[in-house]
Chain A
Amino acid sequence: MIVRPRLEDHLVIGKYTGKVVIGVGLLMLIPLAVSIGFAEWDTAIDFIVAIMACFAFGFGLQVVCRTQKDLSWSHGLVVASGSWFFATALGALPHFLSGHAGSYLDTLFDVMSGYTTTGLYLLQDLDHVSMGLSMWRHLLTYAGGQGIVVIALTFLFKGTAGAYKVYVGEGKDERLLPNVIQTARAIWLVSLTWLVIGTVFLGVRGMTLGQGPVRAFFHGLWVFMGAWSTGGFAPQSYNTFWFHDLGYEVICIVIMIAGSFNFALHWAMWTGNRKEIRRNVETISFFVTLSLTTMVATFFLAKANVYPDAMSLARKVFYQLASGHTTTGFSTIYARAFVTQWGPIGLIATTVAMAIGASACSTGGGIKGIRMGVISKALVQDVRRMISPESAVIMEKYHHIRDTWLTDGLVRGAMTVTIAYVTLYGVGTVIGTLYGYPLEQAAFEMVSAASNTGLSCGVTSPFMPEVMKVTFTLGMWLGRLEFMSVFALIGYGYAVVRGR
């Protein structure tokens, strides 16, 4: 029997959703300040409208949903996915008011892409958008990478035990420190330290490349945010191709890879456990699959004679593949060049890298390295069992912060989520092909959206069918929250209607 949620359940969900939306409004103060600083008055008004809409909505929910009840697990999941929904709807206001979007659906697509650190966009005339809106686009992706719930946890939730349940609902389940609020703050400590160092490196490099100090600083900051959050947004439509510099690309690669690592791994390194990076199952899995996909793409592009020399070939292939595998979405080639220069094998290798994706509990998306590691270990275990005597007890373990024995439950969990991702990739690909896109291009684009990567081969465009925009938006949302929270929200809606 499905139990219909009681009034108290609605109140607790409304209260915490309101808090997260207020957090989004507070976040918009930063692009508002940038707009005022650059005397972009129309953009500043756009942000005032959006901030006040968030505050009115958030405080309105606080007024209506008065309760002292704490969150249960199901509440946490619904709050996480519901917050993302409202944060997207209200966070899209500056995009819409800017006049650069074809429809509100396009702005929802862009903001969902930002929060989920995907990087696909439908905003038009990007090269003429204001500094304030650029700041918001990149801040969305930076905040989304840490988790917008993490932000609210850090600043707005006061020591509630239920906070952990919302945190998990956002697709993060590592508790770095005993208290989840401390964990959220630890995530911020790591991210902000990287922010300062990364921005300085990119900014200084930008100045040596001929950028003025102000543009070099903002481009450095935004490119850092795009790289660290594995978001892939960049201030110019040319993406990181804009800079035409190997040094800039190397800095981006370092930040992208660091951003794609598990926060628990960062914390282990931060607290002096340097060996962890060599032993962790996710880093091992990442380097194996990155090497394999890079080798395949390099081999076929070399055969096709696309690039004039080995250095150019290595530089282009490694950058796009590292970007795809970390689910960042930066590129130094034109989107259509994936089709017109790289061809089907290049597209497929990049698609596989994107599908596998980054580490769990990171800013990245995709199936995740830890699941690939667990499934590979399970496969090895089964093969060993087959060739060993029946009486032999064959056990496998993997290392992630500590050694863990492989159990059937663990393997089943990894397989379930993997199958869910593959199904999602498949459904989106079929929809794309039904609209007439070639199979490999439809697959590339859907995998890019659902793994929160953001590389495009030209399918994503303001003129693509609305159904595909909705499919990609839902794919980004499901992929980022790893299904369970969104399923909980759907279940909650079903229980409201059909429960007793």
Chain B
Amino acid sequence: MTVRLRIVPVVLVALILLALVVAPAFAAEAPIPKNDPTSTQLVEKPKEYNGKTVTFAGEAIGEVMVRGDYAWIHLNDDAYMELNVEEGAKLGGYNSGMAVWIPSPLTKQIDTYGDYKHEGSIAQISGTFNAACKEHGGDMDIHATTLTMIRTGHVVDDPVPPWKAALAAMLVLAAAGLFWFDRATRNRIAPHRGV
């Protein structure tokens, strides 16, 4: 058996091991259902959807605000619901989403709310869309009755790029040098410039 042939089983075993390690990560990436209607459609055509039951998925953002038996959550179905800018998402305009009024026990399934350091969990809710909710002072919202978790959230790293650190160091030196020079030469004003 040549050396090349002896390498084949080793490579195969390595590939199988790699697949076993990587597979759970792919398995966790459940597909995100496409919203119909989206938050943009709901805002653009509120009369059309008013009072109808809608199913809506989005990234849980900010925080849950529990108000007794119910709670407010906000679900964003924008360009950043899977990946935010810090993780390299392409800029895709403003955030957009919907305010959701939901029984507070259901919100316990949401483990992460999106902010600078976190990509929030993606949840799908189902409920009644209100163009101007009577219960909530005319707010546009969805009164949800069910919540299904689509994807758990995660911590977002935001390392400092080396070029930025180098730029900062250079500017510190430049500012310090000019500050020192300004102090050292402050009283040397050319006679013709004085008043």
Which residues of A are in contact with B by a Cβ distance under 8 Å?
8, 11, 40-43, 45-46, 48-49, 52-53, 55-56, 59-60, 62-63, 66-70, 97-102, 124-131, 209-212, 215, 236-238, 241-244, 246, 306-309, 311-313, 315-316, 332-334, 336-337, 340-341, 461-463
Contacts and interface: CB of A to CB of B under 8 A. Distances in A.
A340 B95 contact: no
A285 B186 CA distance: 51
B75 to A, nearest CB: 11
The 6 closest A-B pairs by CB, nearest first: A210-B65, A312-B138, A52-B171, A55-B175, A59-B178, A237-B95
B62 A242 contact: yes
B194 interface: yes
Nearest to B173: A52
A211 B46 CA distance: 29
A63 B185 CA distance: 8
B26 interface: no
Contacts of A8: 193
Nearest to A210: B65
B151 interface: no
Contacts of A209: 65, 67
A340 B164 contact: no
Interface in B162-181: 164-165, 167-168, 171-172, 174-175, 178-179, 181
Interface stretch (B1-9, B10-18, B83-91, B121-129): B83-91
Contacts of A333: 140
A68 B174 contact: no
A332 B72 CA distance: 15
A3 to B, nearest CB: 18
Contacts of B80: 125, 127-128
A42 B86 CA distance: 10
Contact of B160 (A45, A130, A462): A45
A70 B62 CA distance: 51
B49 to A, nearest CB: 11
26 contacts: A11-B193, A42-B161, A45-B168, A49-B171, A52-B168, A59-B175, A67-B194, A68-B195, A70-B195, A97-B164, A99-B86, A125-B89, A126-B95, A127-B115, A210-B66, A210-B71, A211-B65, A236-B62, A243-B65, A306-B132, A309-B134, A312-B137, A313-B138, A315-B137, A316-B137, A334-B43
Contacts of B133: 308, 312
Contact of B91 (A69, A124, A215, A236): A124
Nearest to B79: A125
A379 to B, nearest CB: 37
B36 interface: no
A99 B190 CA distance: 45
A242 B72 CA distance: 9
Interface in B112-165: 114-117, 119, 131-134, 136-141, 156, 158-161, 164-165
B45 interface: yes
A101 B119 CA distance: 19
Contact of A131 (B64, B116, B132): B116
A125 B85 CA distance: 7
Contact of A336 (B44, B65, B131, B175): B44
B84 to A, nearest CB: 4
